[in-house]
A and B are shown apart, each in its own frame.
Chain A
Amino acid sequence: MISKKLALLAAGFGLLLSAAAQAALPIQHWKTDNGTRVYFVESHDLPMLDVSVDFAAGSAYDTAPKSGLASLTRHMLALGAGGVSEDDIAKGLADVGASLGGAFDQDRASYTLRTLSGQRERVQSLALLAKILQQPDFPTAILEREKKRAIAALREEDTQPESIAAKAFFRDLYGGHPYGLPPAGKPETVAALSRDEVAAFYRAHYTAGSAVVSLIGDVSRAEAEAIAKELSSNLPAGAGEGAIPPVAQLAKAEQQTIAHPAKQSHILIGDVGVRRGDPDYFPLFVGNHVLGGGGFTSRLMQDVREKRGLAYSVYSYFEPLRQEGPFVIGLQTKREQTAQALEVVRDTLKEFVAAGPKAAELEKAKQNIVLGFPLRIDSNAKILGYLAMIGFYDLPLTYLDDFVRHVERVGVRDVKDAFARRVHPDRMVTVVVGGGE
């Protein structure tokens, strides 16, 4: 992660701030000539480079009849570009030990590249990444093959309780809002997608103006500038199309049980949560640590697993997005004890929302987050994730430096108020896949 020089610098700051607040992560930021935002951390400890290029091209930009278009478009980029075949792209990367990755969610579609920083490896792999991003060919035969594979995977998912539950949950939580669409579409919508639609989606959403390039690793600022330029210069022009519509609050409680022969019921309970950058985020994040985000010490884990042995896994989280992302509680339990587990979870949630955390509990949660902060940025991979997030959501460059302070500032009252605004135990979505007998 941070180079030795920077680590020393951070230690210096540590004397002024609290011991744990030595976050100083010097992020360099600029814009390329055609409007791509760049975030860079220079680190020469390891001879490697990590790059992420993120676009506002997630499933929220799908429409119900074309659901799956965003996901298919991202997937197709690396399967033939600039006249280089999918095999030659794969070989060209593998030959220099580079690996291509990426992510896809409601808001974002991204490609990541990890490469050795030596001239030969770096030049070859970045040239391929640039081709993938700028000149995708979308070969028709490959598109048809990948549609078939995607449809097969969707049909399989539709038999598995975990994915059945997730899809039903998001549909119920978001109604007609695009956050409620299945991220990879439905078999029938994917089957209908055409090459023209994929190409048009690409041109509209993989634009220089919406792109964010993040880099960490063994290159100089001048090299990073050249790389950012190479990756963005021939992207489609424009700022990216379409804004994600506002999210409506739930009007009433919804519960559905979907029969499935599984031995465990998969349960999801949730509400419309919070946007990235919302002032309520930190109180919710810290509060949720007490409720169900803090691992074995959290209340849900204590009440459901540790005291009663009702589940192996039980958790809660807020997923902040461009618009209000979900608040989710999830667990799996032997089908015969579904009702009991549901009752325990609901009681725990109700009690937490009504009374908030105890002062001592909150202090311990904050202590865990604050003292554990160095673990959040102890690898290039983790830092790359933060750079991409800061860039994509236009968060302050000091986000990581401020993180500890924001956490320390949260009080019992803040958590209670924020939960009261965001989480409504009397009108939440509940999905049970399995049985309740």
Chain B
Amino acid sequence: MPRLRVSRFAVAGLAFLAATASAATVDRTLSNGLKVIVKEDHRSPVVASQVWYKAGSIDEFNGTTGVAHVLEHMMFKGTKKVGPGEFSKIIAEAGGRENAFTSSDYTTYFEQVEKSKLPLAFRLEADRMQNLALSADEFAKEIKVVMEERRWRTEDKPQSLVYEQTVATAYQEHPYRRPVIGWMNDLQHMTVDDARDWYRRWYAPNNAVLVVVGDVKADEVFKLAQTYFGKLKPHALPLRKPQEEPKQDGTKRVTVKAPAKLPYLLMAYHAPVLRDVDKDWEPYALEVLAGVLDGNPAARLNRSLVREQQVASEVGAGYDAVSRGPALFVVEGTPSEGKTVGALETAIRAELERIKKDGVTAEELARVRSQVVAAKVYQRDSMFYQGMVIGQMELSGLSYKDIDARLAKLQQVTPEQVRDVARKYLTDDNLTVGTLDPQPLDTKKPAMPPKGLHHDF
């Protein structure tokens, strides 16, 4: 998808006025395409700096799945000027914290520092945006770390395996079917050249957004950004194909066997995401639906399935309206002792049917609205989190300027809209069901070594 609204607010003076008047969020786009967004927050003498690259597993190809995340690891392994591991040491000596994360949609690098250290963070980030060393020796060590990460995150966690398999089943054509961490076999055969290709392809100022939240002045941050990032050269970005997921026609099911005691159920329905903050209404209704089902301890699923029917010992629902690709509306749960996943699935379906038939109450909607109002205040307690909200909106093709409008629209959802999206999307033909079939520990010998493990160093 092409980037939207990259340079809407290019007049420096205007941005500065806005900043001093209300400490609103302001942005400016450098001539090389780097968008800089600043939110002043003077509660504490610190600053959070985040560089968001629009490059995630959604952009990967078969055979090199996981490369977005591997590159994230390699970004700490040195540039022409800064040796391997030096990035972390320099930030640490300045009293800072740094790390990074990769998602299906983006890769984000961040520093949290006392405010006077922001130039240091910018210098280092600008350096690795264009000068990464990517040595074969460092790659050989780091790919082992990433494989350990996959074992830790996914392979030895039964519920993570169910999630991975369910998503891979729900999507047939869309790249979201591939896990962010990558398939083990692809990691085993990944080379430093795969990482180099990825870096050359996506790491450019015109594919990045710099988000700064903290005790800073916006105009000074823009100047600093110009000083450190301004000289970096943009390059043409590869064409991104739509890869749209076709409509699903019929329930899909997948079972995972893994050492565990309790079964687990994950139901995933294809759902739309927010593309037009003003005109769309379904994503808001789906967000409210998730809130009515599981947004607070008084919500329906917990009350009905855990407390009253006692068919589940844990239950939850989730939906994320903001992302580059499509969404899944998920309901998950663990059956109570003596109950089967089948019984839990039946009970969950009955809850969903009730909403399709009778809708939700005004009381439930009011409760979700209260949560939204409160969350808007609470999120301001964390500079880092405020930056996350800004970055996620921007990287999903929306704008940080839509954050408040989005919250306002959420408040306007009606009971009928919630009922209607439940009717439209929570249907059998649109559903993928993943279940965990727990296996006793003793009968399962060294669990399914992936093919090619013997190649592994």
Contact = CB atoms under 8 A, between A and B. Distances in A.
Interface in A370-384: 370-375, 377-381
A19 B334 CA distance: 52
B262 A48 contact: no
B382 A7 contact: no
A114 interface: yes
Given A263-B156, A307-B141, A20 B43 contact: no
A333 B441 CA distance: 19
A373 to B, nearest CB: 7
Given A262-B447, A367-B93, A374-B44, A296 B337 contact: no
A13 to B, nearest CB: 12
A140 B255 CA distance: 37
B441 A159 contact: yes
A309 interface: yes
Interface in B132-149: 140-149
B415 interface: no
Given A91-B298, A297-B92, A264 B152 contact: yes
Contacts of B307: 86-87, 142, 145
Given A149-B313, A261-B259, A262-B447, A305 B145 contact: yes
Contacts of A297: 85, 88-89, 92
Contacts of B367: 91, 94-95
B362 interface: no
A264 B145 contact: no
A151 interface: yes
B370 interface: yes
Contact of B46 (A307, A308, A378): A378
B148 A152 contact: no
Contact of B93 (A100, A306, A364): A364
A97 B262 contact: no
B45 interface: yes
A380 B84 CA distance: 36
A94 B149 contact: no
B50 to A, nearest CB: 15
B151 interface: yes
A160 interface: yes
A122 to B, nearest CB: 12
A96 interface: yes
Contacts of B371: 94, 97
A7 B259 contact: no
A384 to B, nearest CB: 10
B380 interface: yes
B44 A1 contact: yes
A98 interface: yes
B180 to A, nearest CB: 14
A309 B262 contact: no
Contacts of B117: 371
A48 B446 contact: no
Nearest to A306: B85
A116 B95 CA distance: 33
Interface string B102-139: 00000000001110110000000000000000000000
Interface size class of B (residues with CB under 8 A): 35 or more
B11 to A, nearest CB: 29
A145 B310 contact: yes
A156 B260 contact: yes
B445 A261 contact: yes
A263 B141 CA distance: 19
Interface in A225-267: 260-264
Interface stretch (A29-37, A60-68, A310-318): A310-318
Contacts of A151: 337
B383 to A, nearest CB: 7
A262 B156 contact: yes
Contacts of B296: 90, 93-94, 99
B336 interface: yes
B259 A372 contact: no
Contact of A312 (B141, B148, B438, B449): B148
A264 B151 CA distance: 7
Contacts of A396: none
B74 to A, nearest CB: 13
Interface string B364-390: 001100110111011011110000000
B444 interface: yes
Contact of A334 (B151, B299, B306, B377): B151
B94 interface: yes
B97 interface: yes
Contacts of B76: 296
B13 interface: no
Interface string A332-348: 11110000000000000
A402 B158 CA distance: 46
B377 A47 contact: yes
A185 to B, nearest CB: 16
Contact of B141 (A95, A309, A369): A309
A199 B399 CA distance: 53
A158 interface: yes
A323 interface: no
B61 to A, nearest CB: 25
Contact of B297 (A90, A309, A311): A90
B313 A152 contact: yes
A7 B142 CA distance: 42
Given A94-B298, A306-B141, A372 B97 contact: yes
A368 B141 contact: no
Given A48-B377, A91-B367, A149 B145 contact: no
A152 B447 contact: no
Nearest to A381: B381
A22 interface: yes
B260 A160 contact: yes
B81 interface: no
A7 B141 contact: no
Contacts of B42: 4, 7
Interface in B422-457: 438, 441, 444-447, 449, 457
A371 B94 contact: yes
A261 B444 CA distance: 6
A413 interface: no
Nearest to A85: B307
A184 B65 CA distance: 40
By CB atoms of chain B within 10 A, which of A86, A97, A333, A373 has the most?
Answer: A97
Interface string B397-427: 0000000000000000000000000000000
B44 A313 contact: no
By CB atoms of chain A within 10 A, which of B155, B298, B306 has the most?
Answer: B298
Nearest to A117: B377
B327 to A, nearest CB: 24
B261 interface: yes
A200 interface: no
B96 interface: yes
Given A312-B153, A372-B95, A374-B46, 16 more contacts: A20-B114, A46-B43, A46-B377, A87-B307, A93-B298, A94-B297, A116-B373, A148-B336, A152-B261, A156-B260, A156-B262, A263-B447, A264-B152, A297-B85, A311-B145, A334-B151
